[in-house]
Structure 1
Amino acid sequence: MARPQMLKLPEVLTEIGMSRAAFYRMRARKQTPRIVKLPNGQLRVRRQDLDAWLESCEQHAA
């Protein structure tokens, strides 16, 4: 079984077109996709979690 694709935070920000500051404000309100914090402090987002989060945003906007 293949490991899930993990995206770095800058990759996520580029894909969703959001600034780091805006992302962290949303994160404080628990409105971002699930985040994995690595032992070195870096953040990663699983591709499937980002896709699911984007889909949920579409449903709320309709």
Structure 2
Amino acid sequence: MARERADLLTVRQVLEELGGVSKRTFYRWRELQLAPRCIRLPNGELRVRRDVLDSWLEDRAEGTA
């Protein structure tokens, strides 16, 4: 079975999904190793896989059983 290609989100898209978190905050989270795992492209840009972001958000949900 072929692995489905995960959507790659730009930092801007991730920030929008997080409700407008600032770019500065996101990069600070990266320094503190609190941000979702990123992929660095050859041109230096960062991408976050959709499934990684969804899992990262789920891991931070409060009040889950």
TM value normalised by structure 2:
0.86
Moved over 4 A (4+): none
**Equivalent-residue separation in structure 1 for 2:53 and 2:32 (angstroms):** 17
**Equivalent-residue separation in structure 1 for 2:15 and 2:39 (angstroms):** 15
The alignment of Structure 1 onto Structure 2 pairs a total of residues equal to 60
Q: How does 1:19-58 map to 2 (within 5 A)?
A: 19-58=22-61
For residues 7-61 of structure 1, the C-alpha deviation after alignment (integer angstroms, 9 at most, x for no partner) is 0110000110210000111110000111000000110000000000000111xx3
Stretches of structure 2 lacking an aligned partner (at least 5 in a row): none
Higher relative helix content:
1
Stretches of structure 1 lacking an aligned partner (at least 5 in a row): none
TM value normalised by structure 1:
0.89
What letter corresponds to residue 12 of structure 2 in structure 1? Answer: P
% of aligned pairs identical?
Answer: 45
The structure with the larger Rg is 2
